[in-house]
Amino acid sequence: MLKRIKQDWAVFIGICKLIKFGFIFISKKDPKQQEQVIRDCFKELVRYWKVQITVEGAEHADHHEQYVIISNHQSQMDIPVLYQAIPVPMRMAAKHQLFQIPLFGYFLKHGGFIPIYRGNSTAAIRALNQSKDLFQKGLSLFMAPEGTRSKTGDFLKFKKGPFVMAIEHQKPILPIVLIGTRDVVRHGSLRIYQEFPIHVKILPPIPVNGLTYKDREALLERAFKEMSAVYKEGTRDVR
């Protein structure tokens, strides 16, 4: 019982910190200043929650380079961890429903995050234009190719969106594999289980130079194969 009370209190304090940094965030208009606020926020949260994070392959993420960043999606903890692990200024594409949440949606719009509408070609073109604006501002784009969180931890089938974006903008894919976030924040819960470690594996970038729209499937399959192999090896090591 005491442990649950502490976990619920940690969630409450985390929400308060998010709101505090959110108001600082909306006071900033410069993308670099906004980026710093986001990173300061998640750094403080991760430190407060005492989440254990190890990162491998940091040398593959050049903060002077721009990427379409992708990772497996397992938990609400994924985003704080990604902002801690990847030293690359970025904004994320997220399902459009998140932009409809009062206050939180305003934060997302203000920061130039990109709403994703599934099955809407007009909205897809709009997202393509927004991502172009991000790259012009010197930012990278993060997209979760699975489209939703995996309930089992196993990789879900990848969607084509991130790979079309990478080819369209001729930006390399930066694959990230997250291991353990689903143990720290479990599906359907916000409680923090800090005793479980999180491993972040940054894979070498996948170049897209010269690729065209017809290469999207091959690019997707390569990313899926490389990332799922690293995940399987990493989870086997953890066990």
Domains of the chain: 52-238 (3.40.1130.10)
Question: What pLDDT shows up at residue 235?
Answer: 80
Distance CA 200, CA 57 (A): 8
Helix runs in 139-207, H state only: 161-169, 181-184
Distance (Å) of CA 201 to CA 52, 57, 188:
14, 6, 25
Burial of 117 (0-12, 13-18, 19+ CB in 10 A): middle
First to last CA, the chain: 28
Per-residue pLDDT of the chain (239 residues), as tens digits, is: 777 888 888 888 888 998 899 899 999 999 889 999 999 999 999 999 999 999 999 999 998 899 999 999 999 899 999 999 999 999 998 888 888 888 788 888 888 888 887 766 666 667 777 888 899 999 999 999 998 888 888 899 999 989 999 999 999 999 999 999 999 998 878 888 888 999 999 999 999 999 999 999 999 999 999 999 999 987 865 55
